[in-house]
């Protein structure tokens, strides 16, 4: 049986090693399964305590994707099986989101440098892995997005924390439209730290192997930064569509008026800019409930710690499993593939602030602690 994650320890000139984890499901664009998350979390624990490992690298098998998201088919079946509609009764969702969110948080707080090779598709769960890495590389093939509005979910895996900290309006725009960003925009908005050619992986690995790595994680991080800067080769990137349209996005999507933002995004359906026009089309076809939930989560996340954001997202994710649109979105996009979802509510006007409060109700029995209660409050 093929391992969901391949692990290697790359020897370097000074005798220390670099741990390389390769997400190994290219046929699903390296979509994150529960087994993949567990395997990666276990090895990260091992490598963090191994003095021979100087730093860790993450990449995806194949040349199409780092990771295109999570195991939606598995979650869909679990939602179907959960006939009583109790969010806490969905055992798979409870475990999957807890394991995935803990893994994402661990990457954010890892004691050693983590290089993420974010080439190809980086969406949903893939963003969750890349976002917390200390050294994030994008390439000319990178397609970075949080497209959850199309499946009735929201930008989770810490996505609401990330988007809420972007310049005014940008986070709302990306959450409501699922717009894809390339290397230039990722670099410009702090979603990647380096931009390289996708065929540069071999040369980068050779430089890493030729180096002598210090024992101090801080010194290793600085040395890795120098190698990555050298590997960029001074390539000039053309301004990405978000940079080009930044003023339009800020004017349209900033502020506290949800319906005004929705009207402004909808108006781009008549835009002459194909990127904005596509953004409007995705929004108009997406879940109105997801739009309201995403907008509300981003406003709430602005002043929260990362751990508190993950705790909030965990509650909202479990509630998404019984509110209907998440199951319907997966059905329409990936199962029946009719691309004709029946959203409920059917319009943003009906997705009111009062309506969305159901997503913030803890689903566990009275007296039960939050499954992520210890996040950020204990070692590891």
Q: What average pLDDT does the structure give for the chain?
A: 96
- 352-366, pLDDT tens digit by residue? 999 999 999 999 999
Residue 87 reports pLDDT greater than 50? yes
Residue 170 reports pLDDT greater than 80? yes
What does the pLDDT average to over 327-331?
97
> Could you give all domains of the chain from N- to C-terminal order, each with its CATH number?
5-360 (3.90.226.10)
What does the pLDDT average to over 145-154?
98
pLDDT computed for residue 377 by the predictor: 85
pLDDT computed for residue 378 by the predictor: 60
Residue 231 reports pLDDT greater than 50? yes
pLDDT computed for residue 104 by the predictor: 98
Residue 380 reports pLDDT greater than 70? no
Which residues, listed in sequence order, are joined to residue 116 by a DSSP beta bridge? 58, 136
- 22-60, pLDDT tens digit by residue? 999 999 999 999 999 999 999 999 999 999 999 999 999
d(CA 159, CA 181): 15
- 102-114, pLDDT tens digit by residue? 999 999 999 999 9
What does the pLDDT average to over 178-185?
98
Contacts of 41 by beta carbon, 8 Å cutoff, 6+ apart: 99, 102, 103, 106
Lookup: tokens for 48: 């963090």
Residue 379 reports pLDDT greater than 70? no
pLDDT computed for residue 11 by the predictor: 98
What does the pLDDT average to over 119-128?
98
d(CA 218, CA 110): 12
pLDDT computed for residue 84 by the predictor: 78
The structure's pTM equals 0.97
Which one is predicted more confidently, 235 or 297?
297
* Orientation of helix 258-267 relative to helix 246-253, angle to 10°: 140
Residue 190 reports pLDDT greater than 90? yes
Confidence of residue 236 (pLDDT cuts 50, 70, 90): confident
Rg over CA atoms, the chain = 20
pLDDT computed for residue 237 by the predictor: 86
What does the pLDDT average to over 324-345?
96
């Amino acid at each position: 049986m093929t391992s969901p994650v391949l692990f290697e320890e790359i020897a370097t000139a000074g005798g220390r090693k670099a741990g390389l984890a390769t997400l190994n499901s290219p046929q699903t664009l390296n979509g994150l399964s529960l087994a993949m998350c567990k395997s990666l979390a276990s090895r990260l624990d091992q490598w963090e305590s191994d003095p021979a490992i100087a730093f860790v690298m993450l990449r995806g098998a194949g040349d199409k994707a780092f990771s295109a998201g999570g195991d939606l088919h598995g979650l869909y079946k679990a939602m179907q099986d959960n006939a009583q509609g109790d969010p806490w009764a969905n055992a798979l969702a409870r475990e999957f989101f807890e394991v995935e969110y803990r893994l994402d948080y661990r990457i954010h707080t890892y004691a050693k440098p983590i290089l993420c090779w974010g080439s190809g598709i980086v969406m949903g769960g893939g963003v969750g892995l890349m976002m917390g890495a200390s050294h994030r590389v994008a390439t000319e093939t990178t397609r970075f997005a949080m497209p959850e509005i199309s499946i009735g979910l929201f930008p989770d895996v810490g996505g609401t924390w990330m988007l809420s900290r972007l310049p005014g309006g940008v986070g709302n725009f990306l959450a409501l439209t699922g717009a894809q960003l390339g290397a230039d925009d990722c670099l410009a908005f702090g979603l990647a730290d380096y931009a390289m050619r996708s065929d540069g992986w071999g040369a980068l690995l050779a430089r890493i192997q030729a180096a002598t790595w210090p024992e101090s994680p801080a010194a290793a991080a600085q040395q890795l930064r120098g190698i990555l800067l050298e590997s960029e080769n001074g390539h000039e990137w053309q301004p990405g569509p978000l940079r080009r349209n930044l003023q339009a996005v800020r004017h349209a999507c900033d502020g506290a008026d949800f319906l005004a933002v929705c009207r402004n995004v909808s108006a781009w359906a008549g835009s002459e800019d194909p990127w904005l026009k596509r953004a409007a089309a995705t929004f108009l076809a997406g879940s109105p409930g997801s739009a309201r939930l995403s907008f509300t989560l981003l406003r709430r996340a602005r002043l929260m710690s990362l751990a508190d954001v993950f705790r909030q997202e965990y509650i909202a994710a479990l509630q998404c499993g019984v509110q209907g649109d998440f199951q319907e979105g997966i059905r329409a996009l990936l199962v029946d593939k009719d691309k004709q979802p029946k959203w409920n509510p059917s319009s943003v006007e009906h997705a009111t602030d009062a309506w969305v409060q159901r997503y913030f109700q803890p689903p566990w029995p009275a007296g039960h602690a939050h499954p992520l209660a210890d996040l950020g409050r204990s070692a590891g």
